[in-house]
Structure 1
């Protein structure tokens, strides 16, 4: 497996910051901190933790002194100087000494307001912008290490699907099947389960249905959407199965969604706009007469979180570049009747796209 190079990530972040006119970056606990230096505090408390990236100094990670050993172990060989602040001292004074007294800085969306206000009191000549505003694509392009992790998470989700379809659906509550999905994800190496959507019959027409007490019946379409984190990276896949023999209409609608998903996959290439992927999927479903029933974007990015930029949606003109990883998940939702969604995680390559989910996309019959 490719090893992570945090120095490359930090250099790329600093280049993006300079292009955005920022004096530097202040990275608080959350996905950005884990991405840039490998440190994910086990307990995020009121004690200040911040990674400071400025073009004129080595990266510095300021942590509570009692957490310094954990931080030093986490960053390992990353080019980061770890410094600690003592309880009883003013951490904002320590933080202010490590930053220029003037300029605009990017700061993590996850930063506590108390920390930002404390820093502003010490450095009144500074200003701040959220990463989501100035660096929305900070984690969008994955390196080889990250693609390997996402592929492994996708393979674990695929193995989970192959096990769940061997189990009985009819006569069981949605919640019971969702519990089985969660257990299987953990069995296949996930450390965290983020969602297990089981939408049967009319509940499948709600894309974000919360698996409940409805008893699955013979003749139901069942949408299965599940994922979480494995070794720090996300999985997210959807397949729609049918309990017993489907009707011709159900087969037709499932096939329309499959064709839309395939067309969107084939449209992925460097330079294509994110919205182009959405348009291709929407065109297939619209020409089949179901356009009004495709009620969400075609995809979202994935990485150390299961939903992040880029987004495959109308109005997103960002061009795809090799290394971007995202979902392709068109769907059709008939209110009060049933829904169909098919979702894979894909990575944009130099020549097109590569799927990170590889279970069959044809309609699967379950008992």
Structure 2
């Protein structure tokens, strides 16, 4: 892998990479805190802090790739006179394709997230708050071995129609649509799974709308295969939603890459010409949000294989009615 990285560095005219804890850091084998420095020639070395990292950069370096998540004080601490560029210029194309071990790790992460949402069905939801249930799910993820909880969403009733809702003290009541998602990192790899529940009984017209969301995801999965662009996959899902009459209420993004980071290329949106290939992993997440009423989003991690899309998070997507 290091040889491939150095080849990309040479193509981009980068003399050294400096990485802090991040997806790029983990891609090169970084663990815990600290920094990694990879010169174009010489060994990959670890450093405790930015000053120590700066000492490992060859004095002849004229162009240095820095981690996209590097903070301003870290950049100043490096005290580099070289031109600074993002390390992702070299690493992003390599990280698009994942080997068998990486796909297996992503599958384990997806299975763990899946298991948390399956256990969530057995919890007592009636009369509790979004915030309390989000904390409960957060704890369950940690108990499941999650190394870092990246996000937990619990959105009830009209809040399920708010794409970036933050769980609050809103009480969960019978008749509510309930949107629940968990995103975390297991074994260095990220996964997100989102499911939709109904509390006691679904709201009027909710099931019809939810069926459109499921159909949109199926259309995306049917079109996801090697040689197809990310934009084409997104378009397949969008056409289903548009044809249903819900087009104006659809989420702007139908999915995104996921792996060492939770938001990566490719993006399943119009304009992303990334050609899909075996080994790419994406989170396919169509959603429809009806303001002030309810929303529905289903998210699953899939891998592109020579035969097409393979879903790594395998729990049922059928609308589950919570009875307690």
Q: Same fold (TM over 0.5)?
A: yes
User: What does 1:1-367 correspond to in 2, within 5 Å?
Assistant: 8=1, 10-41=2-33, 49-54=35-40, 57-64=41-48, 91=52, 94-96=55-57, 99=58, 101-117=60-76, 119=78, 121=80, 124=81, 126-133=82-89, 135-247=91-203, 249-367=205-323
Could you report, residue by residue, the CA deviation over 1:22-41 in whole angstroms, capped at 9, with x for unpaired residues? 33433333321221123332
Alpha-carbon distance change, 113 to 175 in structure 1, aligned in 2, over 3 angstroms = closer
Q: Is the CA contact 1:257–1:340 (under 8 Å) kept in the aligned structure 2?
A: yes
1 CA distance for matches of 2:36 and 2:222?
42
SS in 2 for 1:159: helix
SS in 2 for 1:235: strand
Cα distance, 1:12 vs structure 2: 2.3
1 CA distance for matches of 2:256 and 2:164?
15
User: Normalization by structure 2: what TM-score?
Assistant: 0.91
User: Normalization by structure 1: what TM-score?
Assistant: 0.81
1 CA distance for matches of 2:211 and 2:184?
27
Cα distance, 1:237 vs structure 2: 0.5
Which runs of at least 4 in structure 1 moved beyond 6 Å after TM superposition? none
1 CA distance for matches of 2:13 and 2:205?
55
1 CA distance for matches of 2:135 and 2:77?
44
Q: Is the CA contact 2:257–2:266 (under 8 Å) kept in the aligned structure 1?
A: yes
The answer to which of 155-164 and 187-196 deviates more is: 187-196
2 CA distance for matches of 1:151 and 1:188?
15
Could you report, residue by residue, the CA deviation over 1:34-77 in whole angstroms, capped at 9, with x for unpaired residues? 21123332xx5xxxx332231xx23231424xx9xxxxxxxxxx
Could you report, residue by residue, the CA deviation over 1:93-142 in whole angstroms, capped at 9, with x for unpaired residues? 7334xx26254232211334455445555xx4x32211345543342222
The answer to which of 130-139 and 324-333 deviates more is: 130-139
Q: Is the CA contact 2:46–2:53 (under 8 Å) kept in the aligned structure 1?
A: no
Alpha-carbon distance change, 102 to 183 in structure 1, aligned in 2, over 3 angstroms = closer
Cα distance, 1:363 vs structure 2: 1.1
2 CA distance for matches of 1:140 and 1:272?
15
Cα distance, 1:293 vs structure 2: 0.6
Larger radius of gyration: 1
2 CA distance for matches of 1:182 and 1:102?
44
Q: Is the CA contact 1:137–1:310 (under 8 Å) kept in the aligned structure 2?
A: no
RMSD (Å) for aligned C-alpha atoms: 2.3
Cα distance, 1:246 vs structure 2: 2.2
Q: Is the CA contact 2:47–2:53 (under 8 Å) kept in the aligned structure 1?
A: no
2 CA distance for matches of 1:62 and 1:305?
21
Alpha-carbon distance change, 116 to 170 in structure 1, aligned in 2, over 3 angstroms = closer
The unaligned stretches of length 5 or more in structure 1 are: 1-7, 68-84
Q: Is the CA contact 1:175–1:212 (under 8 Å) kept in the aligned structure 2?
A: yes
The unaligned stretches of length 5 or more in structure 2 are: none
Could you report, residue by residue, the CA deviation over 1:317-344 in whole angstroms, capped at 9, with x for unpaired residues? 1111111111000000000000000110
